[in-house]
Structures are given as structure tokens and as C-alpha cells.
Structure 1
Amino acid sequence: MARYVNPRRRREDPVRWMVTRERFQLPDTEPPAAEPDVAVRDIVNDIFKSIDVRRQPALLDQIRETWRELAGPGATTHARPGYLDRQTLVIFVDSAVWLNELVRYERAGILTRLQQRFGAEAIKALRLQADPEDRRKVVSSDR
């Protein structure tokens, strides 16, 4: 990781250090050594490399495109792929009944089909949860 050194950074003023030391009751007689500054760009690049953010959207798009054949016709109308969280695919389900049905009977089959299609290292687990966006039509009445 490249280090960035700010050329305008000044050494600690001794009088100011004495006041700070007295105010906060610090035991050191010398100010702490200044650490070199680090560019934010380098930190962000390291984070993105560690989570492999470029591969996840492409994988999620492929899952969405093939969702009908992976989940089956019954589950397709009530469940949808949500997002990837550390090799765990989160699936949103629109009702508690279907959530229970999928957890009990379909979870293992869906996971097996996903791993066969995209690899066992890409998706290691499934998590099913209630859909935060209720996609069912709400009927409003004018009374």
C-alpha cells in the first residue's frame, strides 16, 4: 500500500504540546511521532479487492436471469433473489407461508442447482427472509 506524506504537515509546537499534555494529563514529555498519511484511494481499492465487488453484480445478474429454472415455477412467483452477502445468497419471499415452504422443502434443491450452475465457491449458503418490498397489489377503496 502506498503511503502519502502531506508536505504541509508541521511538527508539533512544543508550547502547544505542553498545554495539551497538561490539559489531558498525558505522561509523555515528547509529542507522539506523526504517522504518515494514507491516501483514501488506496484504502478503498484494498477494500474492493478484498470483497471482489466487480464479480458480485455480474453473478447476481446471472442468477436473476436464470431464476425461473433454478427455483422452479411455484417458487418463482413468490420468491426473488435479493443480494449476495459473503457468498450467501439472500432470497426474498413475499409471504410467511411460502417462506416456510421454501425453507422446509426447497432450500437444499435450490442451493444444489445454484452451486451446479455457478460453482460451490461462488454460493455457499442460502438465507431466506421476508421481502422488504411487498410486491403484491394493494387494493384501495374509496369510502
Structure 2
Amino acid sequence: MGERWVVAVLVRAGDLVRVRGRWRRVRAARDELFPMGGPAVVLTFTQGAPWRVHAAEVVAVRRGATVIDSPSDWLLSPENSGSGPIAEMECTTCLDSSGPLDELDGLTGWCLAHARHVGHTGFRRTVTDFHRAARCDRVRGNLATDVPP
């Protein structure tokens, strides 16, 4: 998933949060009060020191991304540019195929036409979607667009 802006109180374990320009994986999030009584959230990360932030502060979050915790952390996220997922239907009887399409209506139409003309009624759908890997320290702005060397 792409980057979202949420209030800190909505951050949960497993999210990636951008802290000082670097993406960090949240291990745990807990509510507490600042010494003067205001609401706070303490985010504990898989690496590094915890971060105490006002509960209403807006922070950058990525959900659904995978980071490998290592000295050169990498981020894997769905590719949002292009056509999106591509699907193909295949007859389970004769293995005839619709070919790859990015429209659900085209897949449905092909299956119904095949059933009507040939009489086969079983189909298998294969969906292909795309992901991009980038180093966390190269993630800028809203998208992980830098291609690693």
C-alpha cells in the first residue's frame, strides 16, 4: 500500500512509520499521558529508540508493505503505476484461455461465451500484480520510486 497520513493514535503494530525521513517498523503502540496531562502515543520499533508523539499528531504510515530488518533495510510495496492487476481465465476442461486482460467484464464475457459455444463450465482465474522494491533510505515523498542500483 501507499503512504497514508493518519493521526498517531491510529498507528498499530506492523505499520511502517516515517521518522526523521526514515521508515521504521512499529513493534508496539501504547497510549499514555504526557507529564503535563496531554494524550500521547509511544511507538516502539523493531530497531532503535521508542518515539513519544502527541496522540493527535499526523504521521506518515505505510500498511501492507514488507521491510527486511537489516543494515540496508528494503521496502517492498505494490506497484501503483500502470494498469494494475492483470487476470486471465482458463477453461479447466480444454485449457483454452482468455489471454491476459485488465478488465473484469472482458474475463466474464469470455467465460460465458466459451460456456455457450463449447459447453465447458469450469474456469481457473490467474491474477498477476506487480511490486517494487526500494531501500528505505531512498523512499521519498509518497512513493517508493527509486530503483536500487
Shorter-chain TM band = under 0.3
TM-score of the superposed pair, with normalisation by structure 2: 0.23
TM-score of the superposed pair, with normalisation by structure 1: 0.24
Greater strand share, 1 or 2? 2
Larger radius of gyration: 1
Greater helix share, 1 or 2? 1
The higher relative CO (CA closer than 8 Å, separation ≥ 6) is in: 2
